[in-house]
A and B are shown apart, each in its own frame.
Chain A
Amino acid sequence: MAVTALALVRLRNLFAVVMLAGMFSLLAAVLYVVLDAVDVAFTEAAVGAGITTVLMLGTLALTTSEEKAAPRKILAPLLLVVATGAVLIYGTMDMPRYGDPNAPIHRHVAPYYLERTGPDTGLPNVVTAVLASYRGYDTLGEVAVIFTAAVGVLILIGRSRRPRKKRQPADKKKAAQ
């Protein structure tokens, strides 16, 4: 995955960049399955790898598929990035270890949901239960965000000469499920 990301930095053909970004998303989905997040993996594969790639390809069709020159100012961004990364790595020193069952994140409200989901909702899938039942309002807000984005996209490019872009909101509504 890191290799894919690094290849993305070097490539200048934007078509290849978009395809690699899709691959990157799929690799992320595989990683989520390994980390027990099957629902997230579904969504990432469908939305991240699927719809994002389609949107990017649409944009490429409307603009250009070749990046101009390689960036000239390399040193300053690189230094900034390395410095930020070093600070962040220093910050991880106090984080709970990977897979530690006693990490604070697992001791607060998570056991409540794991215990109550079965009796409360009758759903076996805790992620779905929390998403649609306990935190249904969050999903409502999410739909509002997507609607706003769809309206924004339509305002920005809806009246342009190319009506193809009007398909976008329909795609995103599906993603909201």
Chain B
Amino acid sequence: MEFPGLYNYWITIVLMMVGFYIVIAHDNLIKKVVGLNIFQVSVFVFYISMAKVRGGTAPILDAGIEIYSNPLPHVLILTAIVVGVATTALALALVVRIRNAYGTIEDDEIEGQEDDA
């Protein structure tokens, strides 16, 4: 097993698991959204690190440069970042609405109120 060749994936996985943990273990809804963002960034890092070519440069054409990194994942992730912000905004709007309706943004307290009702 060659250790150094895969560490970029492992960093991605560690980040992803941190985000995953925040999402499933915390009750605070804003914290959950932050966890989702971490998860998302880890996927971005995964794509970008796959696009890297050893000895390559950024994909901006110039004379005398032979090796470029792969531009296609970059395009995908550009789109994904912007879409991610849109979904984050929507999630936060939902959080604000939940706060208006229940007076709390803690998942377990909302459940408690639901059970009482």
Which A residues fall within an 8 A CB radius of B? 1-2, 5-6, 8-9, 14, 17-18, 21, 24-25, 28, 31-32, 35-40, 43-44, 47-48, 51-52, 55-56, 58-60, 62-64, 67-68, 71, 73-74, 77-78, 80-82, 84-85, 88-89, 92-93, 95-101, 103, 105-106, 109-110, 113-114, 117-118, 124-127, 130-131, 135, 138-139, 142, 145-146, 148-150, 152-153, 156-157, 160, 165, 168, 172, 175-176
> Given A35-B49, A68-B27, A149-B90, are A82 and B17 also a contact pair (CB < 8 Å)?
yes
* B117 contacts A by Cβ under 8 Å: no
* Interface pair A145/B72, CB less than 8 Å apart: no
How distant is the Cα of A74 from the Cα of B22 in the complex, in angstroms?
11
Could you tell me the distance in whole angstroms from the C-beta of A171 to the nearest C-beta in chain B? 8
What residues of B have a CB within 8 angstroms of the CB of A74 in the complex?
A: 25
* Interface pair A85/B17, CB less than 8 Å apart: yes
Pick the residue among A28, A58, A97, A152 that contacts B45 (CB under 8 A): A28
* Interface pair B18/A152, CB less than 8 Å apart: no
> Given A37-B69, A142-B79, are A165 and B5 also a contact pair (CB < 8 Å)?
no
Interface residues of B in 29-80 (CB under 8 A from A): 30-31, 33-35, 37-38, 41, 44-45, 48-62, 67-75, 77-79
Classify chain B's interface size.
35 or more
How distant is the Cα of A158 from the Cα of B77 in the complex, in angstroms?
30
Which B residues fall within an 8 A CB radius of A? 1-2, 4-11, 13-22, 24-28, 30-31, 33-35, 37-38, 41, 44-45, 48-62, 67-75, 77-79, 81-90, 92-97, 99-100, 105-106, 109
Pick the residue among A36, A52, A63 that contacts B99 (CB under 8 A): A63
> Given A1-B15, A14-B28, A36-B56, are A105 and B51 also a contact pair (CB < 8 Å)?
yes
> Given A8-B18, A9-B18, A139-B79, are A114 and B68 also a contact pair (CB < 8 Å)?
yes
List the 9 shortest-distance A-B pairs measured between CB atoms, nearest first. Answer: A99-B54, A97-B5, A149-B86, A77-B25, A36-B69, A92-B9, A126-B71, A126-B59, A67-B28
What residues of B have a CB within 8 angstroms of the CB of A2 in the complex?
A: 11, 14-15, 18
